[in-house]
A = this chain, B = another copy of it.
Amino acid sequence: MTDPAELNALTASLAVEDLRDAWRLLDAAERIEGFRLLGREDAQEFFGALPSAEQLQLIEQSSATERRHLLRMLAPDDAADLLQELPDEQRQPLLGLYDDVTRREVASLLAYREDVAGGLMNPRFARVRPDMTVEEAILYLRRQANEGLELYTYAYVLDKEQRLLGVVSFRDLFRGKATAAMRDVMKTDVVRVHEEMDQEAVGATFAEHDLVALPVVDAAGRMKGVVTVDDIVDVVQEEATEDIHKIGGSVALDAPYLEVGLVGMLKKRLGWLLVLFFAQMLTVVAMSYFQVRIDQLSLLSLFVPLILSSGGNSGSQASTLVIRAMSLGELRPSDWKRVFLNELATGLTMGLVLGVIGFTRVVAIWPGNEEQFANFSWQLAGAILVSVVGVVLWGTLIGSMLPILLRRFGLDPASASAPLVATLSDVTGIVVYFSAVSWFLSHVLPPVA
C-alpha cells in the first residue's frame, strides 16, 4: 500500500517534526514559510497546539485567504483566546472572516474574562434530549460528528430551555439497551461549574472529582459549554508559573522568558527590587543604631551576614512551603494555628542545630587567632547561639504566617516572596543579634549612653 497519498503523508509528517524542532529558531517570515509546507491535517494540529501569541504572528503574516483558513482551524474557545489578545479594531476584521453561527459563538465567549470557566469552555458539546432513546442518541451524535463536533467522553442531556438535566457517558450509551430513554440512562447528579467561576477553582473541582470534562452553566442552570481537562493542564501550568515567579520576587511574566524584552523584564522585576531596596535601607538605620558596638569591637560585625542569612533561608523555606500548600488547597487560613505550632517546633529545632554549630565554631576553632578574644569567646559564642535560634525561629514564623495573612486580606499569598521574607527578617535579625551581644558581653562592652 505505498500509494502516493501515503508517501505524501510520510513527507508531510517529516516536515511537521522538522518544523517543530526548528520553530524556536525561526523568525516570523521563516515560520509562515515552513507552515505553508504542511498538509492540511498536520497544519491544523500544529497550529492548534501553538500558544496564542504565535498563532497571532502566523495570522499577521498570512494572506487574506490563508487567514480565513487559519481561523477556522481553531475551536471557538481557542479562537476567543487568540482574539482576546487583540485591541478591538484588529479583532473585528478577523471576526468578520467567520460564518454567522461561529461568529456569534466566538463573540459570546469574548464576553467572558479569560480566567473564568466561561473563558475556558468550548461552546460546542454533544447534547441529547431526555426523551431520545439510546439508538436515536447515537444517530443524533453521529450527525453532530458529521457536522464537525469533537466528541469527548460525555454527552449532556438538556431540556428545551437548555437546562442541564443529566450526563451520559459514551460507555453508558454503548452498553445501554437500544430502546432505553436518555432520562433513564443518564446520571442526574452532575458536577457542574458556574460560568463565572475562577479558573483556579475550576482546576480544583477537576482534581477533587477526577473528571475529564465539566459542564459550565449560567445562573439559571442553562448549559453554556464544556471545559475539558486538557484546558486545565494549561491553567495548572499558568498558575504554578505565576506562583513561582512571585516567589522569586518578580511580577509574573506573562510570556515565555526569551520573548520578554529588556523593557518587559524591567517592568516585571525592577518594581519589587526597588521596594525591597527601600525596605533594606532600614538595615542601615538598624546597624547605625549599633554602630557604637562595632566601634567597641569590630569583630562583632563579621557575623552579621551569617546571622541574617540564616533567618532569610529558613524564612524562604517556610514561605514557599506554605504558599504551595495554599495553592494546592491543602491549607486554609483557618489552619494558621497548626501551621504556627508546626513552624515553632521546626524553627526552634533547626535554630538550635545551626546555633550549636555557630557556637562550636566560635569556641573551638577561633580563639587561637586573637589574644584579646580569649577573654570572652564563650560569651560571644553564647550570643551567637541565642541569635541564630532567635533569627531562624523568627524567619520561619514570618515566612509561614505572612502568606496566610495575605490570603486572609484577600491578597495573593505568593507575594510573600523569598526576598521579601528575607528582607523582613533582616532588620529584626540585626536587632536580635546586637541585643544578644550587648547582654552576653556586658562585662567587656561598656554600656552605651
A residues apposed to B, CB below 8 Å:
6, 9, 13, 20, 41-42, 45, 48-49, 138, 141-142, 145-146, 149-153, 169-172, 174-175, 187-189, 203, 206-212, 228-230, 232-234, 236-237, 240-241, 243-245, 247-250, 253, 256-258, 262, 265-266, 269-270, 272-274, 276-278, 280-281, 283-284, 287-288, 291, 294-295, 298-299, 301-306, 308-310, 312-314, 316-317, 319-325, 328, 330-331, 335, 338-339, 342, 345-346, 349-350, 353-354, 357-358, 361, 392, 417-419, 422-423, 426, 430
Contacts and interface: CB of A to CB of B under 8 A. Distances in A.
Closest 3 A-B residue pairs measured CB to CB? A248-B320, A240-B240, A257-B325
A121 to B, nearest CB: 15
A188 B8 CA distance: 12
Contact of A314 (B273, B291, B339, B345): B273
A311 B328 CA distance: 31
5 contacts: A45-B209, A48-B210, A273-B310, A273-B354, A274-B353
Contact of A249 (B141, B187, B316): B316
Contacts of A310: 273, 276-277, 280
Contacts of A353: 270, 274
Given A145-B172, A280-B306, 8 more contacts: A45-B210, A151-B170, A237-B240, A245-B324, A258-B342, A266-B349, A272-B317, A312-B312
A312 B212 contact: no
Q: Report copies per complex.
A: 2
A149 B353 CA distance: 55
Nearest to A362: B284
Contacts of A209: 45, 49
A358 to B, nearest CB: 8
Nearest to A270: B350
Nearest to A235: B233
The prevalent SS among residues of A at the interface is: helix
A385 to B, nearest CB: 13
Contacts of A228: 212
Nearest to A150: B171
A151 B346 CA distance: 48
A2 to B, nearest CB: 13
Contacts of A309: 276, 280, 283, 419, 422-423, 426
A280 B422 CA distance: 15
